[in-house]
Amino acid sequence: MNKATAFLAAASIAAISTPAFAQSTDSQFDGFRAQGVAGYDMLSAGSSIDDDSTVDNDQSIEGFVYGANVGYDFDIGNAVIGVEAELTKSTAQTEFADGDWEGFGYGRVDAGRDLFLGVRAGVKAAPDLLVYAKGGYTNMKLNLLSNDGTTEFNQDLDLDGWRAGAGVEYAINPNTFINVEYRYSNYQKGEVDFSGSVPDSNRFDVDLDRHQIMAGVGVRF
């Protein structure tokens, strides 16, 4: 977890501090890149068990996800490979709808920050159009909310998993691009991060699915 955060910070600083320079080749997909991303986010408990005895509850929450992505690409001819890091935040949370509790297997929660570290590889369908796939490690936090009538409790559920996705990227010019992608994440391990001097819980198994449709606008340096 600390290593992931440190890597993301280092990649962000490198992308911001590196001065813009002319591309050494005619490639539209080579070098440092940084972009803003946003889109649709849906999390669902990876279980067929309904947690509501009276209504067919799909055990999912939805929201708007937004954040930033930095990376470095290598043009190797007709193909492009690269590494990237991303930090996002989502508005997805459980709620009451028409008097019915819309939980999804983890109690009352709202989605916290999400980190991704991974690689991507693609082929150039045209000199300015890249079709790519991506994959890697993802870590997210769910904020656990509860109240016993006197005290409100707010703890973090720290989840580790993997992500896979695919997308297309269009180079508007050598220094500006847009892209759109779909990604799927599955979180398989978790721990409760307690505040203060209370130690974190032991790692335990979880099963949480995440589907996102994202769009981004970025620059190359």
Domains delineated in the chain: 2-220 (2.40.160.20)
pLDDT computed for residue 142 by the predictor: 87
Question: What's the confidence (pLDDT) of residue 16?
Answer: 43
- What's the pLDDT score for residue 12? 46
Q: What is the pLDDT of residue 200?
A: 62
- What's 9-63 look like in SS3? HHHHHHHHHCCCCCCCCCCCCCEEEEEEEEEEEEEEECCCCCCCCCCCCCCEEEE
Q: 142 forms bridges with which residues in the sheet?
A: 111, 157
Q: What's residue 157's pLDDT? A: 85
Q: Indicate the pTM of the whole model.
A: 0.76
Q: What is the pLDDT of residue 103?
A: 58
CA proximity to 209, closest of 61, 63, 109: 61
Q: What's the pLDDT at 23?
A: 40
The three state secondary structure string of 187-202 is EEEEEEECCCCCCCCC
Tell me what pLDDT residue 20 has. 39
CA angle 187, 190, 195 (to 5 degrees): 135
Of the candidates 212, 106, 219, the one whose C-alpha atom is nearest the C-alpha of residue 172 is 219
pLDDT of residue 14: 46
pLDDT per 10-residue tile (average), the chain, 221 residues: 48 44 63 98 72 56 95 95 98 70 65 95 96 97 68 76 98 96 94 64 83 97 91
